[in-house]
Amino acid sequence: MKVLLGVTGSIAVYKACELVRLLVKRGDDVRVAMTTHAREFVMPLTFQTLSRNPVACDMFAEPGEWRPEHISLAEWAEFVLVAPATANILAKMAHGIADDLLSSVLLAARSPVAVAPAMNDGMWANPATQANVAALSARGVRIVSPGEGALACGTSGKGRMAEPAEIISKCFAQ
């Protein structure tokens, strides 16, 4: 399957590396689109090496083909997964905001979409985030709920991105 993995700016990016490895091991053709903030945590080269494909990072980079990259990626993907999905990308998706490469791909995508949220427990519990998740779920976006436990910010609660194997199981159950 052609899987586009959207990676956003969260410490949980390290789990996205394992997610790519497991998807490739399954036989999926994986491409990665990273936000600017995601690149603060992990370099594109990491995902390029794991996926064996170029990594899309910039809305205005010179395209490899004549079509805008956000459209060609959206049309290429048979499944789009955003992991980690920050509160920011969830809000953009819920409100149709397309101000960077990944959010533009998500707005143009016609394939199934799933998100694996990752954020502080307070951000996850915030009514705005919960309303955005509910809106996305109502539109058919698959939500792989975060787990509970110790968070990178030093608190404990619900907000940890699900483990890569669980994400794959919930997105690609046979």
**Which residues belong to the active site?**
153
Alpha helices in the chain, H assignment, sequence order: 13-26, 44-51, 69-76, 87-95, 101-108, 121-125, 127-138, 164-171
Residues contacting 38, CB < 8 A, separation 6+: 7, 8, 9, 10, 13
Residues 119/147, Cβ–Cβ less than 8 Å:
no
Q: CA 170 to CA 174: how far, in whole Å? A: 10
Sheet holding 113-117, edge to edge: 55-56, 29-34, 2-7, 79-85, 113-117, 142-143
Total Cβ atoms within 10 A of residue 1? 13
76 with 32: CB under 8 angstroms? no
Q: Quick one: tokens of 156? A: 């404990």
